[in-house]
Amino acid sequence: MPPFLLMIPVGVLLLLSGCADDTSDAAFASPFDTQQLVVATRNGPTARYLGRDQSATGPEHDLVMAFADSRGWVVDWQVHESTAEVIEALATGRAHLAAAGLTHLPARSERFEPGLVHGEVVQQVVCHRDDRPLPDTIEGLAGVDLQVTGDSSYVARLEELARTVPDLTFVADPSRSSEVLLTQVATGEVGCTVADSSIVRMVRRYWPHLEVAMNLDQNEPVGWYAAAGHTEVAKATRRWRESEAGEAAVAAMRERYYSHIEEFDFVDMRALNRRLDDRLPHYLDEFRQASEETGLPVDLLAAMAYQESHWDPQATSPTGVRGIMMLTRPTAESLGVEDRLDPRESILGGARYLADRHARLPEDIPEPDRTYLALASYNLGRAHVLDARRLARDLGLDPDSWVDMREVLPLKADKRYYPQTKYGYARGYEPVHYVRRIRNYRDVIDQALAD
């Protein structure tokens, strides 16, 4: 076993946990003087990562940038691979702020200055679903191959639990992130791990055989910490969080990164991950050609096609829509598609149709809302989406906002509202589910295409 791994009774860890160097003289200048904010973060889907176009993105990234912009500060990012490295950067005075999905813990709040809180998580024990029976009590964790990322809230919680379960042991590895450990559980290299529920929700989509065995605790706050001595930085983040701009930034972050992740469906996610290997490669060139012609992203077109047909070129519905993009006969004819069961024709036709729905929307609708409205139009029909946009205005809501429109579209099936619309009744709840599922599939497909 490598020397950086700890596999010892947790009672001994209690003696060692206070030995780490927690000194920080915050020797560098204040951002209030330099207008430069040094931020330690973690490379991961719940913190900061490089997106489809290789630009920085992520929940913590977006919030930090919004906060810094509100003060006119420039952000100097320090991107680390583990929570332990983030904590070390803050403790040694190499960063003003840590924004890495850190749980607010009493021990951390004694060392650092608590900043804003932007959410809650619960610690979850995660194992491979084939290793049943899974541990469902604290006592059941004794003897389990349990490995967690080092210098994390999980270590603190497991140390506490060990007071009642002396046989509880675990590996605390500061070099491996929660995402890496979850992957190793999925591939059978590790028995079980502990991770925040927000991380588990994201990662399970890629590794559907991961299963939550139990929750370790109640919900805990998640947010930022400032280095010791930078009290004013921490206060500034808390004041901004309470402001209208801060509330809007947190809401936008949650909408962008979490709102489309549905309740986990093992069968659905397992099927998607299998078809990424045995179906998607057969049609990837067609999706790329359609992307080149229309300008729509490959992963978006692939996700839409998966929602429509599960990448089955022979798919046929009882209502007569057919093919990998499930086109109606009139739509296919209008697009020059002669054979709806020909994958190349269907994919190109569906891409052209979505591009047309997108082009017909007002140009000043921001992305990604414009794309979501175009998808809704593809699914429900442009006329019904226009009805819903008019209804949104009547209700004092924003027809250019997907957050508002996903509340209004279902009203097209509500007898209190649809008689007022030009085109009448429609199953307006369907495009809401349609867009949510495509966003969810797109995340998984994007990762597969990047690997």
Which residues are designated catalytic?
308
The secondary structure of residue 132, as a DSSP letter, is: P
In 3D space, the residue among 101, 45, 100, 54 whose CA is nearest the CA of residue 77 turns out to be 100
Give start and end residues of each alpha helix (H) in 49-132: 59-71, 83-91, 106-111
What does the alpha-carbon distance between residue 198 and residue 262 come to, in Å, rounded to a whole number?
12
In 3D space, the residue among 4, 185, 247, 223 whose CA is nearest the CA of residue 102 turns out to be 223
**Residue 9: both structure tokens together:** 């009774």
**Residue 90: both structure tokens together:** 């803050």
In 3D space, the residue among 33, 29, 34, 35 whose CA is nearest the CA of residue 73 turns out to be 35
Q: SS3 for 345? A: helix
**Residue 229: both structure tokens together:** 């001595």
What does the alpha-carbon distance between residue 353 and residue 345 come to, in Å, rounded to a whole number?
12
CB 341 within 8 A of CB 322: yes
The helix (H) or strand (E) run that includes residue 12 is helix 10-16
What does the alpha-carbon distance between residue 325 and residue 132 come to, in Å, rounded to a whole number?
39
What does the alpha-carbon distance between residue 415 and residue 422 come to, in Å, rounded to a whole number?
14
Report strand pairing: 220-226 vs 97-103.
Answer: antiparallel
